[in-house]
Amino acid sequence: MTTVPIRVIRTLSIFVLLMPLVLGLVVLATLPIDEYPSPLLPLVIGAVAVGGVLLAETVGYAAPPIEPGTHRAKAANQALQQYRSRWFVRAVSTEFVMLIGLLLSFMLATPWPYIVAFVLGWPIMIYEVWPARRVVDKLNQRLEIYGALSYLDDALHGRLPA
């Protein structure tokens, strides 16, 4: 039985997307909810979130294009490898927001930084990490910029060309 890469990526995405929820429960169970620390907190975490989005949207899709004349199977394997590596870049750059919130929460001994980071960062993370059609099409467009077909969709669904 062969594994279908998109299923593996979806499963990994679910685990990566559930981790901030688990961390949030730990933070809420560990730290007392006191008064809100500073009105600057959303600005600081918002700046980190903007940086994470910019990184995910630029570096997260900066894959080298498939060269024209590349054999179909090689192009598909190359595209799949680029999808996997770019997925990790997008996951790390968007999860960084919540890691900063976690760090600030334990430094300030209050869960508020993590709560703010979660509210700002988790929707961004879902948008960038979940293997939606938008993500696949955006990377595919980058891979096919020179006119060669990447066969990314086929590779993701286990239909590697011969």
Residue from 2, 146, 120, 143 nearest 50 by CA: 120
161 part of a folded domain = no
Report how many domains make up the chain. Answer: 1
Q: Which amino acid is at 158?
A: G
Query: Where do we find the tokens 């899709």?
Result: 61
Radius of gyration of the chain (CA): 19
Tell me the torsion sign for CA atoms 20, 22, 27, 28. positive
Domain boundaries, position 49? 5-156
The tens-digit pLDDT sequence of the chain (162 residues) is 467 899 999 999 999 999 999 999 999 999 998 888 888 999 999 999 999 999 999 999 999 999 999 999 999 999 999 999 999 999 999 999 999 999 999 999 999 999 999 999 999 999 999 999 999 999 999 999 999 999 999 999 988 766
Non-local (6+) Cβ contacts of 162 within 8 A are 72, 73
- What integer pLDDT is reported at residue 112 of this predicted model? 95
Is residue 124 situated within a structural domain? yes
Whether 102 is in a domain gets the answer: yes
End-to-end CA distance of the chain: 18
Is 162 inside a domain boundary? no
